[in-house]
Amino acid sequence: MSSTQSNSSANVTFVRPATFFINGFSNIPHMKYYYVFLSLVYVVTLLGNSFIMCIIYLARRLHTPKYIAVFHLALTDLCGSSAVIPNIIDTFLFDHHVISYEVCLANMFFVYHFMNMQSLTILVLAYDRLVAICFPLRYHAIVTKTAMFLIIGVMWSFSVTYFSVYIGLVNRLSFCVSNVIDSYFCDYGLIYKLACNDNSINIMMVKINFGLLICTPLILILISYFCIALALLKIAHGAERIKAMKTCTSHLMLVTVGYIPILSNNIAVLTTPINPNTRLINNCLTQTITPMLNPIIYTLKTEEVMQSIKELYKRNKVNTTKRMTFSRRNSKQKNQV
């Protein structure tokens, strides 16, 4: 009897709010200019990543396992930005701060899922460079199109399953004090702090998430580049060594742009007192600027992509000239008749 009463009382005290209130970027002057800036960033991200995907799709020389991963990175950058920036503009520029509980969890899922896919794809590109430089004779046997599609499929399966469980744990929390989220999106780390029941599992999952999905890929990337450095030292000719190093420059820039801001933000929060608005803006810029820069890095720093762009331009120019010549001939024949 007592156990029944305790269960019923637990059900009574459990509170799941119908909505959350997104309250980030409060008391910051001239924030409308920031939202306009984010709109421009989103447009550049859309155009840049769409452009790099079109180039990879159209250029046959880029139909390789490496550029399958690059295409996937551009796709996840595009989706990740679409999960963040339009919602920020809608929430703060148009004052739609109230978000339903279900939509909040869905937004949280897509933001974290695509951030994770970006991180894992950069790790896959590091694996590609590791095999290409350390095992050049076996590269085409190890890194095949089938293997790359399989790796990407496993990544998606893992990420979807992991974040379904990760975000599903929010449903065990009771929100009986506040439903105000002091962030620009449904931030898991702030939502579990609003709970008035036991949130120890959620705290543990946040720590696991940081270690497994941010630190572990970075450590594996550093290990891969340590192995690459050892392999480069064994190359006798300096010209060949420089040529091999050049193939890694674009990826190293991706690692720098993708991981250093995230790590510096987390270290700053843990070690020094930081204004909440400063933290939010830093995190927001990290999530939005990186997807914009990735296609620029791969367009300007990769000779294969630049050469493919030139070939496609020349091909398009030749086809346009042929069409114009053909139309002129037809018009002349019609005039003669």
Report yes or no on 173 lying in a domain. Answer: yes
Q: What is the DSSP annotation of 193-209?
A: GG-SS--HHHHHHHHHH
Instruction: Record the tokens describing residue 244, joined without a space.
Output: 């091999």
Structural domains counted in the chain = 1
Phi-psi region at 30: left, alpha or beta (left = phi > 0; alpha = psi -120 to 50)? left
3-class DSSP state for residue 217? Answer: helix
Contacts of 40 (CB under 8 A, 6+ apart): none
Question: Does residue 201 lie in a domain region?
Answer: yes
Q: Per residue in 48-90, pLDDT tens? A: 999 999 999 999 899 999 999 999 999 999 999 999 999 999 9
269: in domain: yes
pLDDT-derived band at 268, boundaries 50, 70, 90: confident
97 falls within a domain: yes
Distance of CA 198 to the CA centre of its chain: 32
What is the CATH number for 251?
1.20.1070.10
d(CA 117, CA 122) in angstroms, rounded, equals 9
Q: Supply the DSSP symbol for 274.
A: -
Taking alpha carbons only, the member of 139, 138, 59 closest to residue 302 is 59
Inter-residue contact 77 to 118 (CB < 8 Å): yes
State the residue range of the domain holding 148: 17-307
> Is residue 228 in some structural domain?
yes
CB–CB of 99/88 below 8 Å? no
Taking residues 274-298, what's their average pLDDT? Answer: 87
What are 300-336's pLDDT values in tens digits? 778 888 888 888 888 877 776 667 666 666 666 666 6
- The answer as to whether 266 is a domain residue is yes
The arrangement of strands across the sheet holding 180-181 comes to: 98-100, 19-22, 180-181
End-to-end Cα distance, the chain: 102
pLDDT tens digits along 218-255: 999 999 999 999 988 887 677 777 877 887 888 898 89
Q: 337 pLDDT exceeds 90?
A: no
Residue 87, in any domain of the structure: yes
**Strand (E) or helix (H) holding 44:** helix 31-58
What is the per-residue pLDDT for 325? Answer: 67
Is residue 322, in this structure, part of any structural domain at all? no
